[in-house]
Structure 1
Amino acid sequence: MNPRSFLKAMILLMLFPSLICLLLPDTIASIYTKIMLPLPLLIGFVLSLRIASMYKKWLQKSFFFLSLFLLFMMVANIDPLWDIVRSKVGDFIPLIVLPFQVITYSMLVISSVYTLKVMERRGLSKKDWVIMVAMLFIGIIIVMYQMIPLLRHIDLYAIFLLLIRFLDVAIVIMLTPVVLLYIRQMRLEKRESITFTTITCGIILSLTVAYGYEIAFDVPLYVIWHAIYHTGSILDALYLFSYLIIAVGLYVHTKYEEWGFRMIEKALAGG
């Protein structure tokens, strides 16, 4: 089996479970998204641990911390748990969520640092810099959008939203050179980078999709979280798609060498 072709086919296939939530009645769609959103993250957590066991040294640590990131992301998507927390702490929920999110993103940062340790070349090409500038520009738009309205009504919740926005943008900007450098390193070594790229793109999509929805539909972020999230919206479909392609990318990564050897054996046998 060709891993590259399989991955592309699976990414397209993942559109179907993602788009299903748009077709379901509201009540069923809500239940569907609440179940489906944590599920691929749980699968990704297990797969990432498995990949970590396949490597030694830096990549082992990279995928281990990636697994922790996915685990925390899964916990963040368990609605009943956060309903309980919210009922206990009330208006102080941002004081719980923000540290939790910082810890979650710390796992991703540490994973990225260990990924960089396996790279020999650290310089970016002109094309890479263009991508970096584009991502920085998008990040500035995300940060600035709705900032003035939030600052006009400054309170704990507004500060919380601004900090989360800054964190998301910072993580996305940090991930961009990591994936670009990884792709260059793999090309130098004549190795495949599509699985890592798929995983990283899934993470970036999951971190930016809410802001894209906010800007595209001019809906404040707090309205998104309270009135649109987990309702079977296009936002839910995009979140689910991003989580599914992370899981698919990790799955193909676990099988890449095995399938690659089979392709070689088949080619030799045919020869």
Structure 2
Amino acid sequence: MPEVAVATLGALLAEARAALAAAGVADAAREAAWLWAESPAEDAGAWLLRPEVVPDAARAARFRARVARRVGGEPLAYVSGWTAFRRVVVRCDRRALIPRPETEGLVELALGLARTGRVADIGTGTGCLALALADEGAFDAVLAVDRSADALALAAENARAARAAVALVRGDLTAPLAAASLDLLVANPPYLTEAEYAALDPSVRAWEPRLALPSGADGLDATRRLLDDGRRVLRRSGWLVLEVDARRAGETAALAAALGWTGVAISEDLFGRDRFVRARRGDAP
């Protein structure tokens, strides 16, 4: 975008809206306002009521730089550095997958099954699920597990920022967890096939970590492992709650039942898609 010696906030936002719209951003006005805010605590709406204000040159330059990144295809959450997830603010960068609105339903479902005891979030990424469970539940312990050291470092930053009592564990899925140590397991594991991953929109594939997206030829490698080993780490009558690809929800539920899980059920996300599978460990060891 061309440099402007002196520009009002209104002019800067108009410039940003035009650039974002030209780049194909669907809600250019909302994103321009979002990018103006330099922290989650800043009220962008209050600024919008003062379009005549002339921001200082340094802030205008930072804003233009953020807009340029977004115009270049970088996801909004990475450009701004944060997103909201239920009642918590989550820092975001390329170390972890961006939390999606539909994943908030996983928290709702999990809390409907258990609000106390010990819970682990497998493949925590930003830590959004663990943070939300710690915030809204009354658990004795909340564990956040990830095999990526980078993702776990980001989750640690988010836990500190939220002052959340979350224990961080590095490891692959449930492998680092002790037997019969949990009342609830939640996971949003990788669940795309390799073909689906290859066909993803570049706004996802080019920016978000591959480690969090595909899971083998049929998309179920991580899910199978969670179903196989989940019964080991859960106490009797403990629950496993998974986010799944809507195209494979039925297959996942059938696999859970075949492996001896009880109470298997599929739930929809906020868009009406089959998105979550819950299953309970029965009395059998």
- Fold similarity call, TM over 0.5: no
Instruction: Flag the structure with larger Rg.
Output: 2
Would you tell me which structure has more strand in proportion to its own residues?
A: 2
TM-score (norm 2): 0.28
Would you tell me which structure has more helix in proportion to its own residues?
A: 1
